[in-house]
Amino acid sequence: MKYFIGNWKMFGVPKSINILNKINSFYSKDKNRKKYGVIITPPYTLIESYAKFFKNKKIYIGSQNCYQKDQFSSNTAAISPYMISKVGAKYTLVGHSDNRDEGDTNEMLKNKVQFALKNNLKVVFCIGENKKEKKNKKTFSVLRNQILKVLEKKFNKNKIIVAYEPIWSIGTGKIPTRVELEKTTTFIKKVLRSIFKKKSPAVLYGGSVDGKNIEMFKKIKEIDGFLIGGASKSSKKFIDIIKNYYR
């Protein structure tokens, strides 16, 4: 199973559901639909209405983040995994570079993963190195640390997806070479197998994915799908990525 996950970030109003309607219309008729899943993470304001609308369809709705405590607390503006699950979300991103920049620590991320899983959410755990770390050839050590400091053997690996998003690539149009990406995804799965034994959770790639460079990405067997940013805000661009992956 491959995954095509759209991260809308700070984008979308109720009528933006038209974008998902077009994606769903394509998906429902696509001969390859049994080979992949579609997940969209809109802002919190749209999760409930979108989740209700697509409840009996094949597009799943997720959250872009969650708070590191379970159920309720006195933290202003915080939204817990429990609250997210109760409005119909099935997935949540955890550890996106935007949130790490805003102060998410490994301890906070571990709590987020733990409570998300407790509330029956599947977790898309984001990891990635910045430009300086890449230049200093610290990519592998950074990724290993990000994984080992957060994920534990006790977590249900069947409900965890890891998304490799090199920070230097996000929104820049720059992407790793095929060789770099093959080595990096292979390394990530090796680290994950050291935790979960035998089988690794799915590993996705994210960072400037579009309908053209997907031709290169699809040649890398270790990649189990994609976390897509800007292109997911356009039904045409998102659909083109899927079409070109399977053509």
Catalytic residue annotation: 96, 165
Q: Measure the CA–CA gap between 247 and 237, rounded to whole angstroms.
A: 15
Q: Measure the CA–CA gap between 165 and 146, rounded to whole angstroms.
A: 12
Q: Measure the CA–CA gap between 149 and 11, rounded to whole angstroms.
A: 31
